[in-house]
Structure 1
Amino acid sequence: MARILITTDYLTAGDEIDTLLRRHGHEPVYSPYTGPREPADRETLFNGVDGAILASEPVTGNMLTDTARLKVLARSGVGYDSIDVPAATALGIRVCNAPGTNHHSVAELTIGLVIMAARRLAEVTTAVQQGRWPRGAGHELRGSTLGIIGYGPSGRATAQIGAALGMTVQVSTSHPDADDPAVHFTDLDTVIRNADYLSLHTRAGHSTRRLIDGPRLQTMKPTAVLINTARGSLVDEDALAKALRTGTIAGAALDVLENEPLPLNSPLRGLDNLTITSHLAGQTAQARTRAALAAAHAIIDVLAGREPDHPVDR
């Protein structure tokens, strides 16, 4: 019987994934990821297990040494930049993810954050709770420009909703779709410069680390709002905090951060023109089910000697 570690916090004993794994002869064991682990716990996390369904916690090469039984790591999500894939591959450990499972959820939250910013909903609801009754003018989305960086599934879904709302959609991507008449494909700097709402949907990596930095923030409209539901590493948070404080841009909404949860000493704290949510973009009941099933089937396939549907290591 193979032992399967599960760190995704919404997966629990007796649920659909637990039942599926047990039906295939595997034994799930649980160690939910709710924040940074103690060093000793990190070093022994994969001891004695054959596979793991993982949340977005960091998995370093050091954590994978002395794990002779470990055969497969499966992310219950799309991003896998938290895993040292080369180190895993060198040790013969397969790495898989769950693409196409949460892009509708991500797009819906992205547009929700755009609407919040346009109508200043976070500020208004707080004021009402405090006994005030603000009635300042917001902005219609129709006629404004939605800039999108990255045109994978979530970027594409966000573009479709934006276009349906009457927004002009400009996209920077290395994979333009000339058959989409609602989208204008152009270069990165043009998208950043023209956007009223700039939404990030590109992958994290060395080439995109702090893609939105001080100089690029300076080129944005002073009325623009930055939206990030992709990866925290895409934004230089110090530069963003400065831009928000000085009025270089009007606002920002972040669902992802470079360090999660938000550190107490983060420069992003105390900013009235910033909304931060707790990495919720893909966290709908439907997306969770699809992602967890994809991860479980990857575990089952690899341990049965079959090629998984979504490997990221080859």
Structure 2
Amino acid sequence: MHPGDEADRYLRMRGHTTVHTPLAGVHDHNRIAAAYADADAALVGHEPLSADVLARAPRLRAVVRTGVGYDAIDVPAASRLGITVSNLPGINANAVAEYTLGLLLAAARHLVHSATAVAAGTWPREPGRELRGATLGLLGYGATARAVVPLAQAFGMRVLCTTGVPLEERTDGTVHFVELPQLLAEADYVSVHTALTDRSRGLLGAAAFAAMKPTAVLINTARGGIVDEGALAHAVRTGRIAGAALDVVSQEPLAPDSQLRGVDGIVVHSHLAGQSEQARTAAGLEGAAELDASLAGRPRHAVSAGLLPVNAQRPDTTTAKER
């Protein structure tokens, strides 16, 4: 997001003053708190908004996450402080779905290994695997997983899915809905598309990897905390599973001493799945609209209980911080 872009123009047309404070790289707690100190509302990326950070922002009344996952925000603390927290469901589903297929293809045909080896002066010729006829297991059935389904099927893949979505919402008759043990046992590729919650944290650990095929590959474009990274590194290093392509990790950027480093078969990318030009533009504009609606007491995608009343008192001129 940049000064003068569509989101910025939208907010200014709605009477808000915008301040851009990019927070890239390693997250610094005090720097994050300082960025929100005088803001009435904020469009945020992945930076963590702890209870302490929120408490140090006395004017803050609305936070909009310009994506789907909001696990980095202390939503209960926001609710206690009367701060509305919103996300943008499905805003980057197509971008993440296409990226997921890219990771599948790269893993199946050893594309990263091949390019790296050629750059190093060798000429590898190991055969890859075709996706046609393979089984893809989806953990979750939200907007992104649903967007993955037709792309995978276009390559001739069989699709399994395990989800807590109610039966009446499982409308795709071409998807085989199964319990997690069956999915792990049958899938050639396991792709994660579920939110990080207390129930899903560490869901894919040693027991899950032991249940998977030795030829299986893990794909994660959701949240790093869903995977036990130590168990994953051990499983790939010992041949328990074939490999993993990760767009997300538990600590971002990847820590120098991460157990995922130096493991043949594990490829880590820099959280790019939702970062297409189209998705970024849509997220900025939709996020700006949600922020404006939240300040007016009419959020459309609120995930917190601390909703701002329509008649709440606030300054005539608000400051909307964009990330």
- For Structure 1 versus Structure 2, the TM-score category normalised by the shorter chain is over 0.9
Of 217, 230, 245, which aligns to 2:222? 230
User: Are 2:40 and 1:50 aligned?
Assistant: yes
Q: Does 1:166 align with 2:166?
A: no
Which residue number in structure 2 is paired with residue 113 of structure 1? Answer: 103
Give the structure, 1 or 2, with the largest relative contact order (CA under 8 Å, sep 6 or more): 2
TM-score normalised per structure 2: 0.91
Matches within 5 A, 1:1-314: 11-175=1-165, 176=167, 177-303=169-295, 305-314=296-305
Letter in structure 2 aligned against 1:312: V
The 8 Å contact of residues 27 and 47 in structure 2, kept in 1 or not, is answered as no
Structure 1 moving runs of 4+ over 4 Å: none
Per-residue deviation, 1:178: 4.8
Contact 1:123 1:272 in 2 (8 A): no
The more displaced of 144-153 and 130-139 is 130-139
- Counterpart of 2:17 in 1: which secondary structure? strand
Q: Which amino acid in 2 is paired with 1:15?
A: D
Cα distance in 1 for partners of 2:23, 2:224 equals 18
Structure 1 residue 38, shift from structure 2 partner: 3.3
Q: Is the 8 A contact 1:45 1:63 kept in 2?
A: no
AA partner of residue 302 (structure 2): P
Q: Percent identity?
A: 47
SS in 2 for 1:147: strand
The offset of 1:75, in angstroms, is 0.6
Residues in 1 aligned to 2:297 and 2:151: alpha-carbon distance in whole angstroms: 38
User: Which 5+ residue runs of structure 2 have no aligned equivalent?
Assistant: 306-323
**2 CA distance for matches of 1:55 and 1:33?**
9
How far does residue 35 in structure 1 lie from its aligned partner after superposition?
Answer: 2.4
RMSD: 1.3
Q: Match of 1:5?
A: none
Partner Cα separation in structure 2 for residue 78 and residue 104 of structure 1: 13
Cα distance, 1:244–1:181 mapped onto 2, change above 3 Å: same
Letter of the structure 2 residue corresponding to residue 49 of structure 1: A
Count of aligned residue pairs for this structure pair: 303
SS of match in other structure, 1:28: strand
